[in-house]
Amino acid sequence: MTMPLSKLEKFFYIDKLVVHSLDLSLYQASVVIDGQEHYITNEKGDYIRAISVLEIQKLCRKLKVKSWVLRQQSAYDEMIGMPDGKQDNTLEVPLSNNKLY
């Protein structure tokens, strides 16, 4: 599911904002509201993307978020002898919005 950033700015609070690390320098964002995850889009319906976590934080600065996390999945488990695709290797790291933008 998706939701435009402008609509999210009107919410009283958002449970969690997830910054997805897609590649070395590519990030995308989603929010969790009432247990459901929604990817954040712009007004044209395109997913918001950025080349840094700070840029995502700047785009989402008007949102009232309870917690921020960085989510990453490794595609390289087989390189270190782990079985490929049999278990979830998602890592979520807590973030804080220090407003460094």
Domain residue ranges in the chain: 2-95
Between CA 62 and CA 6 the distance in angstroms is: 9
Q: What is the pLDDT of residue 76?
A: 67
pTM: 0.86
How many helices, marked H, and strands, marked E, lie in the chain?
2, 7
What average pLDDT does the segment 72-90 reach? Answer: 71
What's the mean per-residue pLDDT of the chain? 91
Question: What is the reported pLDDT for 7?
Answer: 97
Q: Two tokens at 79?
A: 């390189």
First to last CA, the chain: 28
Q: 1-44: per-residue pLDDT in tens?
A: 999 999 999 999 999 999 999 988 999 999 999 999 999 999 99
Other Cβ atoms less than 10 A from the Cβ of 54: the count is 15
DSSP helix/strand/coil, 57: helix
